[in-house]
Structure 1
């Protein structure tokens, strides 16, 4: 039907008008493609690694540890202190002078301390929400300044959970920026994948971990 319409236009309309209408159609399609490209949200890659506790490493339910942490003024004792490492990488083509994002935990877990590994001294992380050993928070907002293309920041969080709790729960990232978080494989998943591809020669035999 569309082909028939163009044939009618070709026979009854002047050539300049046909060229004009064709230009409008191409322009509309081009604008739509550009708008769709610009509307794509920047992709921020996230990797969240939950580091096993001492009891988990030994696999013993009877083994319990008491951890004492001091900030120079006060000492705090914890039986359930978890370590979580978060890595953020800007995989988009957009440079952010400032990128705000938040870390949210389960309601019964809270962040008490954070260590940051930034690319260099010109890239800083500023806490928006204050938190400390004496002021734990289950929701924390941070600001990365700047967060340019291919920049990567790593955070190591100390998280407490109520005594007797067997699970840390989920760690969720969000941002007021127009960005989309994409999950990367955890370090444990990468190691498992690498181990499956290992083959060890043993005399005439070959042992494979696939």
Structure 2
């Protein structure tokens, strides 16, 4: 029986079209499966009047024309990264808070002016809402966007599990490490030069 030269056979396979077809099929399968989108949700308490046992207090935020009093405020940081193999011309998702929680402000961050963020119903001090939708244009591979939100509740504490992120696209959410922006950095960005913060007893 003639001996088979496995080395020559292997080289012929690698240099032929069959191997290229297998590689193409491999990457096509990866692209066609549910694409992973990485997200991180972090919540830190900013003010809670129930922690003050000496006297009743509240925090007042101003938008420059009206004052708004709150008993509890949390800072929520969200980061979204396209960790898949698919480029989205437009990527939409929704953010829903816990029961008794309302979003009172949001600041979106993108890497440059060519990456746009649109809000269907942007939360603000005079538009305190329980949920809203966000659109990212575009959301290409390795693109990332981050959001800093202020959330208020009247009675309950909230944690990252209370913030639900939903999406109409065929993707799967995966977790990433938590964000590291400090409370002072985020609060300073929210307040800016057009708003003020006051503690009242």
Question: Shorter-chain TM-score: what band?
Answer: 0.5 to 0.7
SS of alignment partner, residue 100 of structure 1: strand
The answer as to whether partners of 1:90 and 1:150 remain within 8 angstroms in 2 is yes
Q: 2:131 aligns with which of 139, 157, 163?
A: 139
Deviates more, 1:68-77 or 1:167-176: 167-176
Paired residues for 1:129-208 under 5 Å: 129-162=121-154, 164-167=155-158, 170-187=162-179
d(CA) in 2 for partners of 1:65, 1:47: 32
Instruction: Please state whether the residue corresponding to 1:47 is helix, strand or coil.
Output: strand
Bigger relative contact order, structure 1 or 2, given CA contacts below 8 A and separation 6+? 2
**Alpha-carbon separation, structure 1, partners of 2:122 and 2:140:** 25
| Gap regions ≥5 residues in structure 2 | 1-21, 181-201
Match of 2:53 among 47, 62, 77: 62
Higher share of residues assigned strand: 2
Distance 1:34 1:120 in 2: 30
- Partner residue, 1:90: 82
Unaligned 5+ segments in structure 1 are: 1-28, 189-210
CA RMSD of aligned residues (A): 2.8
**1:41 counterpart (23, 34, 39):** 34
Shift of 1:75: 1.5
> How many residues are matched?
158
Q: TM-score, normalised by structure 2?
A: 0.68
Task: Kindly state the Cα deviation for residue 121 of structure 1 after the two structures are TM-superposed.
Answer: 1.2
**TM-score for the superposition, normalised by structure 1:** 0.65
